[in-house]
Chain A
């Protein structure tokens, strides 16, 4: 660690987000994932001779949302450019992208660090482009090409070199994922490639102003890999410098299986993309009305929502953080909270506990999406209401929860069918307790002689006798009175 303190890393990220538009960036083909290879195609995305691109307005709209959510300056006029290179999955021999004059510039994202402090990471630019197809190399035959992905809209978010640790990069990337999913413009799935991240990394002696030589790290296809790969590369560069060497500017590919970053051959990266303005498209003009409309339609963003959860529901910050991490979960919580009978901090906290522990446990164990969770927010709230009304105990509620998972029934139905209604009738409970005390006279004597820790034993015996249905509060009251006699 001492070695690391002598050095400081400088990290900038380039994040590609696949946008959830229905059709492709420059033609009417569907963007649906998983269709038969080479079926989501038309002359335009196949790059047939004579075709022309037509801009999908939603590509602009989605990128504007991201730009405005990250405090960017929106260019009133931006242009597309051609990025020229040869590859079999690039039918036109160029990718339509933006180079000079991108649509969004000079924004930022505030990310929270481990110590609770906030750091502002600058966004250099966000631009629009089209995806290439997929080359499939690991077949017995030659390389196969699937062009379904050709022309699927992408947004590239380029950060300033503002991050100093792999943790900061991780937090920044998480924040981007959170924002794009909140905006509903990208599903944020790194493993499936709908969110991709390349990093520019260099190190310098702490306190130095000048940047060191940077390398580019690619192929980090999970959040965890990004952190690991950056950690690896930072340490590698420090070791090179410590050994008296100098860092070579190159592109490295992260190998997640071996936990190493491997250098690409320099020949492959010696690209001159010969960018020039795309003559087949006219400039994208964004007026103040459009900006105002997009701005006013922006949903509540993660940071605002977290703060509101703390303020409105009196939740601890920890709860608010977890509940708002994903928009679906926050929506779920909020819908459930709205159905609570008692709108007090106790109920809000109670339902937060259920969501954070029980709902999330099932979500993670069963890999279900929050939106597909078998228990509706209404039913979860109804269950918490039943606890509040004293109809069931918290303990019985666990049983009801499991049953709801299986049957998706309303908790009241389950409680009635299974006879799980809590026994709150003091007279009936007193009778049962009298029996318990009579059957355990030895323990009762010991209690009286001062072994008061036996109180729990009597509660347990009473619960056993009622099959867990006794109202714990009333049981406590009666037992205290009787044992005190």
Chain B
């Protein structure tokens, strides 16, 4: 049988999606189900003086109403944070409580104040309008940098100056200051990496259910992370026994990070179901998603890069204010620190780096990981500096990068590269991706075309971005030392059925990534059996023993590796059974093409026959347990480090400032590739989101903390006619430390693309002598830059 690895196998999960048979959480209807609508604060910061539910309770069809006071009185906990980043002086980060519903004070527009439950959705909605809340509005702070200033509104009494933590990483500040001071040229940029909304097209949904006869809870929820939700909800919020809780997340309509986190609504629906002894469903409306799904990015940064006279980077100094929003979401403190500061080496040999990050609370929606999480911020910072420096020093931006790249290393014959910011890169050949991208774009020809266009008054620009990311998250001991409150291994179970069919249970979770296909390819290939004989099961804590979920481009690198471990155990035991049946010793057997063969003979036994023997062990090795079913946990040895080079070509309309993305070239190295079709699709999607950040997207809060563009009428999502066809290719540098040699591909597109596009805009604007335009580079911003 031909290898399935590296084949663009059509996705097995597609059939249900293209026929309308997907099972998303909102598709589930349970007997006696009731419907919840959450009354949310319209104010970004306000004291809650009184909540009058009497009229709403009297509304026909209302089942119950719970307020923040009910939640407080019940004694249950708040939403926990899964990562601790302490102050430089060693003080513990400020971690104010995050109640499921607030009783005394609302801290962002959208904070939950009460939940109205009725027999149907429309009634719940009507009744929610009858809840009268008496608010006393308070001063509001939305800007991260201003939050620490004297006189700024205080979000939490527990966090003076709105500071959650301050943190630094890298070489001692004094050394970096001295290196910057001694630089021949220093490029400085101050910019905002704007706030984004993940906008998975499926709005979040949670259904709580409780069976009093078994005292068992079930939570159906649109999450990337069912087991972690169960753990956090049981141990930290509701204090209910984990073995009595099942969390189910069948099909999920996109996550992009925003569905990693444990949300208040999940615990709230579970708790309400217990109070009412009937199922309770909450489905977000889009405007509610805009307000309550954790947002991404929102950094205010000053970055300085020092060069010597030859153009070598000699130092990098970074100061960032990271907006965490009103409360700490699950991974919030980790994103601007360990997923951002640690990536500031980029692909460069920069010998001195210091990064300083202050995490602050504001009266805004909580901020957490969004596709790329910290790494897009690091890449944007570095790559904007590189292109700006090239402009300032009048050198070619591609050459400047090639000159400063870390030399190639494979991580086997050469050691992994130790950065100044705590990571050891696994393997990489950074020159090749950029050279390949330059070839694809036809760089020299483009520069000629650009020159000719400029003479006609047309504004063409080219922008570069090279990036590296830390994926395959993550070695548990390492992240534990860095503040993670969980291990980041993954589990698997490979169960061979008596007939030789294979059921695989993975703790990874697919919400579009195609695990049911990619993982099955790995399993079918290793066993030498047909793809149809493998079934991948995920998303149900009752079926899958444990899991840490899908984010950080970790599924194949960590979850896939866990599966490989179980496969190896199956093959090892299978060999013992085969040897017994073939009257040979296991060492004399080889496994290929779905059968064990005695080396050098034609004596063989098929996989299916061994499986049957394992479950009908009549003629069986002595002392060997029946059955063929293994589980494993895989804890990665290191992060994986995908990298790549992206190039954008844009044209700007002089009269309107409209930026048209003409071409986008991406050359990525994600290590080995199991299914090229799926990997390409992941890259495409990431590119669209990264381009969206560069040109279209961005949350706007007004000074009173109101989300001014909280709908698709106001928040620009990239549409089909906004984007070009993508020109993508890849190189393959295997990861040396996991069994599949894979690095992860989910976030690459979103990390590399953003600065490439902005750099292209700046290159097009070169005749105007403009240094920087903030994202998104909207027509008005670009027009203003040209006309200022």
State yes or no: do A and B come from one complex: no
Residues of B within 8 A of A (CB): none
